[in-house]
Amino acid sequence: MSSLLEARDLVKHFPLKGIRAWLSAMGGGARPAVRAVDGISLRLAPGETLGLVGESGCGKSTVARCLLRLIEPSAGRILFDRTDLSALPDEPLRRLRRDLQMVFQDPNASLNPRLTVRRTVDEPLRLHTTLTTAERQDAVREVLDRVGLGPELLHRYPHELSGGQRQRVNIARAIATRPRFVILDEPTSALDVSLRAKIILLLDDLRTRLGMTYLFISHDLATVKYLAHRVAVMYLGTIVEEAPTRELFSKPLHPYTRALLSAIPIPDPDAKRERLILAGEVPSPIDIPTGCRLRTRCPLAQPVCAEPVGLREVTPNHFVACHLV
Amino acid sequence: MRETSAMAEAVVLRRERARRARLLWRRLTKDRLSLAAGGAIVAIMLAALAAPWLAPYDPDATSASDALQRVSLRHWMGTDVYGRDLLSRVIHAARVDLLVALTATAVALTWGAFLGAVAGYRGGWMDQLVMRLVDTIMAFPAFILTMGITATLGNSTLNVVVAIAITHVPIYARLLRGEMLKAREMEYAEAARTVGNRPARIVFFHLLPNCVPPLIVQATLAMGFAILTVAALSFIGLGIQPPQSEWGYMTAEGAGYIVSGEWWLFLFPGVAIMVTVLAFNLIGDALRDVLDPRMRGVR
């Protein structure tokens, strides 16, 4: 499989500061850190959508920001179309950003309140193309039209738009330069339920029309099921299961995935289903359990779970990190 | 077809701008006191600009026969010991005081905002360097430092500007650093990077404009303080030099005549200082109410 974007053993630790961290380091222990992303590998084929799911705080957004180098990964490599992003100096990276875009989670916070819609969407074109002002103006209209916004909104400011319109502007800005890879960081979580389906349909339509590749980050399994070709499930900074979408939803293998899926309501009172309920809360990413990270909460945990565990290909293209599978 | 829609857009744009301007105007004028303060500032500035045409006499023309005239229809504010018309001198003095305060505020604002923005966005050693520099300036009582600078450099008008600017830089640097720390965590700062902006453009084009309202408020309030400092420096003889008419120096001159009954000599320049500073402070408070929603309702 040729890949457009590949991450190998991506790590992002945020070292703790303060007296406690210092004392612990003095005491000979490892310097404590928030291990937000702890060795993640991803591969995205051109044109596909990979869903990345997990609870809040499991490190999904950190992965996204590391992939685009909005924050510097602590370790690991990121390859984009044979370019090593992780070692790219600032200026080439900046130029490459026309191909690497992101739709942010909160449309209210991700648009500059002082820029009109036109200037927001125009900016990537100005930075990355040699189009004239007039050509760019046409391009902005065209992009807005693609995301379903009329030219009457060109001179509006973000606070004069509805939530859905803002997110469409957000999408327009991301796709203006026709990027090859777009990260969607929970693009619908801040929207009304009634708007979500529309935005999801729009995003899927845009991907096929413009031939983009998506990394779709979400904790909303229903939208992932619709949009993603493959799904990776994240727990406490690692990937615990990865499989084609249909397979993952019909035959989840990892206890964590099973627990997530059993939390989706089914609109059928007689449906028989497995209910797997995890105990307690997510452990702190500072004190991660040894061995399998889920073992402190897993109802199926065995003594063997204290041993380290990695992703294994259980059936073709279905990877699981669990001793018991 | 394209043309008509572009024209319609232009109309919409113009209407939008007009609506926004009206809104700001209405909020500013709702408060009678700030309206009066604004009026006072406009009047003082116009008087300063039009001083040569507005002043009834040459401010520097001495006349031994007219010395120490009381307030009269010929001399609305009386005359001083050299027979110079006080009204003319007070009007001309407004030029110096406002110009010095305005220039000093502009210089301090530019440097303070620049340093604070860079320190706040970059963080690390840059932040440490700028903030320790600012702390050093702030370790001195502001007026003592201003006095020291003018005393060392020599008390030319330019040096008064420099001295006030230096003591005012920390105000803006600290304010902007704080605002920038907040702004750089905003998602739109991240979005600006993702789109492919260079750091300088993110700071000065994307983030700085969002920090402007508190800056305007601060500058207006500091402007009143700068006028007070110019006057105070001149009062003790370290500021603007005679025979240039300047409110602080005139007050000092007049102070010597209080006992002998020539009250107008210190009163009118003193009132000019008070009204101007008060007006700037009031308008600063009003601007804060309008521009900074967090402070709304707090008095």
At A34 the pLDDT is 87
Q: Does a structural domain hold residue B46?
A: yes
CATH at residue B101 = 1.10.3720.10
**pLDDT tens digits, residue range A131-183?**
999 999 999 999 999 999 999 999 998 988 998 999 999 999 999 999 999 99
Give yes or no for a contact between A185 and A102, defined as CB atoms under 8 angstroms apart.
yes
Q: How confident is the model at residue B202 (pLDDT cuts 50, 70, 90)?
A: very high
Best probe of the B interface among A114, A156, A185, by most B CBs < 10 A, is A114
Residues with Cβ within 8 Å of A309's Cβ and at least 6 positions away in sequence, in order, are A291, A292, A321, A322, A323
Nearest-angstrom CA–CA distance, A157 and A48 = 34
Q: Does a structural domain hold residue B11?
A: no
Between CA A67 and CA A76, with CA A71 as vertex, the angle to 5 degrees is 50
At B4 the pLDDT is 60
How many CA atoms are closer than 13 Å to the CA of B36, on its beta-carbon side?
6
ipTM, two decimals, is: 0.86
The mean pLDDT value for A189-196 works out to 86
Residues with Cβ within 8 Å of A12's Cβ and at least 6 positions away in sequence, in order, are A36, A37, A59, A62, A63, A66, A71, A73, A74
**pLDDT tens digits, residue range A221-233?**
888 999 999 999 9
At B292 the pLDDT is 60
Q: Inter-chain contact A68–B197, Cβ cutoff 8 Å? A: no
Q: Inter-chain contact B197–A105, Cβ cutoff 8 Å? A: no
Q: Inter-chain contact B186–A105, Cβ cutoff 8 Å? A: no
Residues with Cβ within 8 Å of B233's Cβ and at least 6 positions away in sequence, in order, are B146, B147, B150, B155, B160, B163, B239, B240, B248
Provide the residue range defining the domain that includes B190: 28-55+69-295
Q: Inter-chain contact A65–B198, Cβ cutoff 8 Å? A: no
For A139, A220, B145, B260, the CA distances from A309, given in Å and listed in that order, are 50, 27, 66, 97
DSSP three-state, residue A89: coil
Give yes or no for a contact between A237 and A73, defined as CB atoms under 8 angstroms apart.
no
**Tokens representing residue A95 in the block:** 């130029």
Between CA A225 and CA A231, with CA A229 as vertex, the angle to 5 degrees is 65
Cβ-based contacts of B191 with chain A (< 8 Å): 102, 104, 110-112, 170, 173
Between CA A174 and CA A180, with CA A178 as vertex, the angle to 5 degrees is 95
Q: Does a structural domain hold residue B3?
A: no
Using the Cβ of A61 and the Cβ atoms of chain B, whether some distance falls under 8 Å is answered with no
Question: How remote is the C-alpha of B228 from its chain's centroid?
Answer: 10
Q: Does a structural domain hold residue B226?
A: yes
Residue B155's identity, in one-letter code, is: N
Cβ-based contacts of A112 with chain B (< 8 Å): 188, 191-192, 206, 210
At B154 the pLDDT is 85
Cβ-based contacts of A111 with chain B (< 8 Å): 188, 191
Mean pLDDT of chain B: 86
Q: Inter-chain contact A151–B210, Cβ cutoff 8 Å? A: no
Using the Cβ of A126 and the Cβ atoms of chain B, whether some distance falls under 8 Å is answered with no
| B186 has pLDDT over 80 | yes
A199-203, B52-56, B232-236: lowest mean pLDDT where? B52-56
- Element (H or E) spanning A100, and its range? strand A100-103
Give yes or no for a contact between A52 and A232, defined as CB atoms under 8 angstroms apart.
yes
DSSP single-letter state for residue B102: H
How many domains does chain B divide into?
1
**Tokens representing residue B190 in the block:** 């991240």
Nearest-angstrom CA–CA distance, A240 and B51 = 79
Using the Cβ of B186 and the Cβ atoms of chain A, whether some distance falls under 8 Å is answered with yes
Q: At CB < 8 A and 24+ separation, what contacts does B46-52 make?
A: B47/B91, B47/B94, B48/B91, B48/B94, B48/B95, B48/B98, B48/B99, B49/B95, B51/B91, B51/B92, B51/B94, B51/B95
Give yes or no for a contact between A292 and A322, defined as CB atoms under 8 angstroms apart.
yes
Nearest residue of B to residue A111 by CA position?
B188
Give the neighbor-by-neighbor strand order of the sheet with A33-44.
A33-44, A5-15, A75-80, A83-84
Q: Does a structural domain hold residue B8?
A: no
Q: Inter-chain contact A113–B187, Cβ cutoff 8 Å? A: no
Best probe of the B interface among A85, A123, A154, A183, by most B CBs < 10 A, is A123
Shortest distance between the Cα of A103 and any Cα of chain B, in A, equals 8
pLDDT > 90 fraction of chain A, expressed in percent and rounded: 56
Global confidence as pTM:
0.80
Q: Inter-chain contact A155–B186, Cβ cutoff 8 Å? A: no
DSSP β-bridge partners for residue A42: A7
The mean pLDDT value for B260-272 works out to 88
Max distance between CA atoms of chain B, in angstroms, equals: 82
Q: Does a structural domain hold residue B23?
A: no
Mean pLDDT of chain A: 89
Q: How confident is the model at residue A29 (pLDDT cuts 50, 70, 90)?
A: low
Cβ-based contacts of B210 with chain A (< 8 Å): 112-114
Q: Does a structural domain hold residue B22?
A: no
Using the Cβ of B23 and the Cβ atoms of chain A, whether some distance falls under 8 Å is answered with no
Number of neighbours of residue A110 by Cβ within 10 angstroms: 28
Using the Cβ of B191 and the Cβ atoms of chain A, whether some distance falls under 8 Å is answered with yes
- Element (H or E) spanning A78, and its range? strand A75-80
Nearest-angstrom CA–CA distance, B213 and B201 = 19
At A324 the pLDDT is 86
| Burial of B281 from C-beta contacts in 10 A (0-12 / 13-18 / 19+) | middle
Shortest distance between the Cα of B107 and any Cα of chain A, in A, equals 25
Q: How confident is the model at residue B296 (pLDDT cuts 50, 70, 90)?
A: very low
Best probe of the A interface among B5, B188, B206, B215, by most A CBs < 10 A, is B188
Nearest-CB residue to B186 (from A109, A170, A173) = A109
Using the Cβ of B206 and the Cβ atoms of chain A, whether some distance falls under 8 Å is answered with yes
Best probe of the A interface among B3, B4, B13, B195, by most A CBs < 10 A, is B195
Kindly list the structural domains of chain A, giving each domain's residue range(s) and its CATH number in brackets, ordered by start. 5-23+32-99+179-242 (3.40.50.300)
Q: Does a structural domain hold residue B199?
A: yes
Using alpha carbons, select from A101, A109, A43, A29 the residue that is nearest to residue A68.
A101
